[in-house]
Amino acid sequence: MTTPKEFDLQPNPRILPMLGEINLPQWRCLAELIDNGVDGFLAMLRGGTTPIEAEISVNLPMKDDGSARLTVTDNGPGMSPEHLETAVSAGWSGNSPIDSLGMFGMGFNIATARLGTVTTVWTSQKGDAEEHGLCVDFDQLRKQGHFRTPRLSRPKTDPQKSGTSIVIDRLKPEQRGWFAKPGNRTAVKHELARAYSAMLRSGGVPISFKLVLNGKKVAGTSHCAWDDSRSVETTRHGTIFAVQHIDRRLADRPFCTLCWQWLAAADTACPACGLANNVVQRKRHVHGWIGLQRYLSATDYGIDFVRNGRKIEIGNRDLFSWHEPNTGETEIEYPIDDPRQRGRFIGEIHLDHCRVTYMKDRFDRTDPAWEEMVSIARGEGPLQPQKAATLGYNNNESPLFKLFQAFRRSSPPNARLAGGWSTILAMKDNDRAEEMAERFHDNVPEYQPDTKWWELVQEEDNRLLTVGGTPSGSASSGIPGFGGAATPGKTDAGSEPTVAPVPPSKTPQRQRNPIRSLSRELRHLATGLRWDVRAYESLPDDPDLPARDPWRLRRVADGTSEFLINVSHEVFQSATMTALDALLCELAHQSADFSRSQSAAPSFAESLSDLRKQYGGPLRLDPIALGNAADIIFRTITRAWQSGIDKADANRLFNDLPCSDREAIQHKMATCSVPNPHEVISEARFLDYAPPRMIVNFILTHFELFFDGKCWDEPYADLDYLDPAATEEGRRRVEQNYEALLADALWLSEQEVGGLEAAPRERLLRAALALELLTPLAVEEVDGEA
């Protein structure tokens, strides 16, 4: 017997069904097939032809039965029979690894094997008299023991049409059952809308096409971002816009299309394969934007990374972490100031020239193109400017660095000062901001621009400019730690309250100021009642509001509910009565009155409790937020006193600390890899590395460094009652007052969350007020915070 000179490594046909065992989610299977159609459109574009009315149609099975099938059809350029043969061959791809989405021949086989056992592909080009086809029947291939399958053909109704259709029959039982559930089909639509959103929008990048799912158009999702014309002014960095655009073209670089590797600039042949004919000069272009979302979310934020129009990673947060090159440690830098770790940095970055995994769910972090993008988007070094300067990184002008400096906070550093919310472009009532975002994503026209969000930001700021304040949801002008109620649930609109409508008021509009924070749709879930409230601040002589009434809610002819409120009424002089309280009480009364004849009707108390749970977020004491606010207060205090301290005094103050305190600070600086601790000490920044209790002890020992406008405005050294004993008594009273406030703040910072949640309400309220009173009126930037 003659021994063959070669081994035959052709795979057994059983390899194809085994590919179906790869755990690829259903929407990604569909995306693999959609990618083929997109690649056809991209090929037309590269050839100089702009696709007209480009469309990909997907039909999913809606019943769990044996006849269920799945189809993906496009009106692209189609394929020749030779191209069709190679396009579906296992492990082969005729697509360019540079310009295409369907980079791997395995993608088609994995997707179809995952869904079913019989796949038929029909395709034709413009001018063909018939369609060419083939059928991949996994069971038949396994039986026959080879990969050969007949060429199919069928006549075309219109020779001028072109395109490709993929039909998957004999769906796997688990797949039929999965697609038969409406919720799963909705989830597929949502994922596809996100993945292809860059191309489904008008003026899509790099192309626009229409995606149809079971006969209905899939609209690409958009980010609920602040308009790119919004900006804030910062002391150190000047004007910073809410959207930072990226458009960086890098020099072309050699790339091996066989090995998928970047080459050195001078290479003409690939060092890996030794070939030169596979080396091309590849374009490198990083473009997109990073911006600010109109609401905070613990889950819905991050950067979308896009390759050739398809989003590979959605809501990624890798750019928000600093990777220390010497130690290899990773530190999350954003979000770190929000008590519930909610963020609002979003964006889309196109990175067409970076490799992705074969599952197309992640960019290859070892590709040099990824590191180039990171450097462009967030710069070199940490985002925290003090830490960056300490480690020797300077002059960071990257988009993310700028956003971090202006918009890192989720609440202003001093809520007592008017204008604070507009300086960070944030709404105080985040529950309301999220509720409005739902309408944005539902494509309600008036919620597409950011005007409604901006009006509420301005209203909150303007409230602090008026005597007593324009009414809003907050119980005081700026107690930190209020917020955190759950987003209101949705119900179908139920019966309307039985209140006789009245004609619209003839009162001149100039007598009333709109209260936008209270003007909204509110619902009572238990009764199904709904109110479209339009709230106004009325003057005491408003004829539609009796002089002795602090407020009035009435239905008007257009179906809305008009809420008039006299904020100067004595009832609002109470610390526990707000305009929001008044509105919710009125709605609770109407709910109880409407349902009083029904069995098991909710009482007034139950209705008020329900409404406050839904809409009373701004009135709630949040223990988690309070603990975080205490930490921020101590950090801002440590910065406020540093200006004006010369090196000699700073060194003396440090040396006067107890030995144990000095050692603790030095160990903390070592942990933080501070390269020049002597400079930190001589610049009076050593308290930045001290715990809150140590900071309090320092303040109690050196009150003279913190008053008279240095940190707080209260006079101390400047006090003079013309009698030394009286002056000393006055200073002692100032000290006692701040000693008590600092003790409350320290209690907050040292409590565990469980301890704060178990604390009496009065104790939390007192501590919250202490934080407000301790806030320095002139807050310097703290690690990039304005």
Q: Please tell me the distance from the alpha carbon of residue 60 to that of residue 30, in angstroms, as a whole number.
A: 10
Considering only residues 480 and 616, tell me which one the structure prediction assigns the higher pLDDT: 616
| 486 has pLDDT over 50 | no
Residue with tokens 């509910």: 561
**Range among 1-15, 288-302, 647-661, 710-724 with highest mean pLDDT value:** 288-302
Q: Please tell me the distance from the alpha carbon of residue 770 to that of residue 161, in angstroms, as a whole number.
A: 74
Percentage of the chain modeled with pLDDT above 90: 52
The phi-psi region of residue 781 (left if phi > 0; otherwise alpha if psi is between -120 and 50; otherwise beta) is beta
Of 121-130, 272-281, 484-493, 570-579, the poorest mean pLDDT is in 484-493
User: What confidence score (pLDDT) does residue 352 get?
Assistant: 92
Considering only residues 625 and 195, tell me which one the structure prediction assigns the higher pLDDT: 195
State how far Cα 210 lies from the chain centre: 26
Q: Where are the domains of the chain?
A: 15-217, 231-407, 411-459, 509-615, 623-774
User: What confidence score (pLDDT) does residue 285 get?
Assistant: 95
pLDDT tens column, 124-150: 999 999 999 999 998 888 888 878 889
Q: Please tell me the distance from the alpha carbon of residue 321 to that of residue 400, in angstroms, as a whole number.
A: 11
| 476 has pLDDT over 90 | no
Three-class SS state of 321? strand
Q: Which of 156, 104, 449 is nearest to 294 (CA)?
A: 449
Q: Please tell me the distance from the alpha carbon of residue 786 to that of residue 412, in angstroms, as a whole number.
A: 8
Cβ contact 625:748 at 8 Å? no
Three-state DSSP string of 434-469: HHHHHHHHCCCHHHCCCHHHHHHHHHHHHHCCCCCC
| 546 has pLDDT over 90 | no
Q: Please tell me the distance from the alpha carbon of residue 146 to that of residue 498, in angstroms, as a whole number.
A: 76
Percentage of the chain modeled with pLDDT above 70: 88
Mean pLDDT, the chain, as a whole number? 86
pLDDT tens column, 622-647: 888 888 888 888 988 888 888 778 88
Q: Which of 161, 158, 85 is nearest to 125 (CA)?
A: 161
Q: Please tell me the distance from the alpha carbon of residue 693 to that of residue 745, in angstroms, as a whole number.
A: 10
Cβ contact 380:386 at 8 Å? no
Considering only residues 365 and 392, tell me which one the structure prediction assigns the higher pLDDT: 365
Residues whose CB is less than 8 angstroms from the CB of residue 607 and which lie 6 or more positions away in sequence, other chains included: 524, 526, 527, 587, 588, 589, 591, 592
Of 43-52, 339-348, 619-628, the poorest mean pLDDT is in 619-628
Cβ contact 335:343 at 8 Å? yes
DSSP state of 633: H
Other Cβ atoms closer than 10 A to 432 = 23
pLDDT band at residue 470 under the 50/70/90 scheme: very low
Residue with tokens 């949640």: 757
| 567 has pLDDT over 90 | no
Other Cβ atoms closer than 10 A to 100 = 21
Helix residue ranges, H only, 559-615 = 579-594, 604-615
pLDDT band at residue 465 under the 50/70/90 scheme: low
User: What confidence score (pLDDT) does residue 416 get?
Assistant: 64
User: What confidence score (pLDDT) does residue 141 get?
Assistant: 82
For range 346-365, the mean pLDDT = 92
If you write DSSP's letter for every residue of 407-429 in order, what string do you get?
A: H--SS-S-TTSTTTTTTTT--S-
**Range among 5-9, 237-241, 419-423 with highest mean pLDDT value:** 237-241
For range 596-612, the mean pLDDT = 88
pLDDT band at residue 21 under the 50/70/90 scheme: confident
Cβ contact 422:406 at 8 Å? no
Considering only residues 768 and 673, tell me which one the structure prediction assigns the higher pLDDT: 768
Q: Please tell me the distance from the alpha carbon of residue 679 to that of residue 691, in angstroms, as a whole number.
A: 20
Of 98-112, 205-219, 414-428, 632-646, the poorest mean pLDDT is in 98-112
User: What confidence score (pLDDT) does residue 50 get?
Assistant: 86
Q: Please tell me the distance from the alpha carbon of residue 31 to that of residue 107, in angstroms, as a whole number.
A: 10
Of 346-350, 389-393, 432-436, 711-715, the poorest mean pLDDT is in 389-393
| 213 has pLDDT over 50 | yes
Considering only residues 109 and 303, tell me which one the structure prediction assigns the higher pLDDT: 303
Q: Please tell me the distance from the alpha carbon of residue 57 to that of residue 226, in angstroms, as a whole number.
A: 33
| 779 has pLDDT over 90 | no
User: What confidence score (pLDDT) does residue 484 get?
Assistant: 36
If you write DSSP's letter for every residue of 208-264 in order, what string do you get?
A: --EEEETTEEPPPP---B--TT-EEEETTTEEEESEEEEEEEEEEEEEETTTTEE--
Q: Please tell me the distance from the alpha carbon of residue 640 to that of residue 633, in angstroms, as a whole number.
A: 11
No. of helices (H) and no. of strands (E), the chain: 23, 23
Burial status of residue 752 (CB atoms within 10 A of its CB: 0-12, 13-18, 19 or more): exposed
Three-class SS state of 308? coil
Three-class SS state of 322? strand
Q: Please tell me the distance from the alpha carbon of residue 661 to that of residue 667, in angstroms, as a whole number.
A: 10
Cβ contact 134:88 at 8 Å? yes
**Range among 298-302, 390-394, 555-559 with highest mean pLDDT value:** 298-302
User: What confidence score (pLDDT) does residue 167 get?
Assistant: 97
User: What confidence score (pLDDT) does residue 632 get?
Assistant: 85
Q: Please tell me the distance from the alpha carbon of residue 100 to that of residue 532, in angstroms, as a whole number.
A: 50
For range 548-559, the mean pLDDT = 90
User: What confidence score (pLDDT) does residue 102 get?
Assistant: 58
| 264 has pLDDT over 90 | no
CB half-sphere exposure, 17, CA atoms < 13 A: 14
Other Cβ atoms closer than 10 A to 553 = 21
| 166 has pLDDT over 90 | yes
CB half-sphere exposure, 471, CA atoms < 13 A: 32
If you write DSSP's letter for every residue of 12-75 in order, what string do you get?
A: PTTHHHHHTTS---HHHHHHHHHHHHHHHHHHHHHTT---SS-EEEEE---S-STT--EEEEE-
Cβ contact 683:650 at 8 Å? yes
Q: Please tell me the distance from the alpha carbon of residue 170 to that of residue 663, in angstroms, as a whole number.
A: 72
User: How would you label 357-371 residue by residue, b for 16+ Cβ within 10 Å and e otherwise?
Assistant: eebbeebeeebebbe
Residue with tokens 């073209």: 249
Instruction: Give 234's strand partners.
Output: 238
Pairing between β-strand 561-565 and β-strand 529-538 as defined by DSSP bridges? parallel
User: What confidence score (pLDDT) does residue 511 get?
Assistant: 67
Strand ranges in 468-565 using DSSP code E only, listed in sequence order: 512-514, 521-524, 529-538, 551-555, 561-565
Alpha-carbon torsion (194, 196, 198, 200), positive or negative: negative
Q: Which of 133, 31, 116 is nearest to 67 (CA)?
A: 116
DSSP state of 602: P
**Range among 220-229, 454-463, 490-499, 682-691 with highest mean pLDDT value:** 220-229
- 266 — phi, psi (to 5°)? -90, -5
pLDDT band at residue 496 under the 50/70/90 scheme: very low
User: What confidence score (pLDDT) does residue 623 get?
Assistant: 83
The CATH number, out of the four listed (3.40.50.300, 3.40.630.30, 3.30.565.10, 3.30.70.580), of the domain defined by the range 15-217: 3.30.565.10
Other Cβ atoms closer than 10 A to 268 = 8
Other Cβ atoms closer than 10 A to 670 = 11
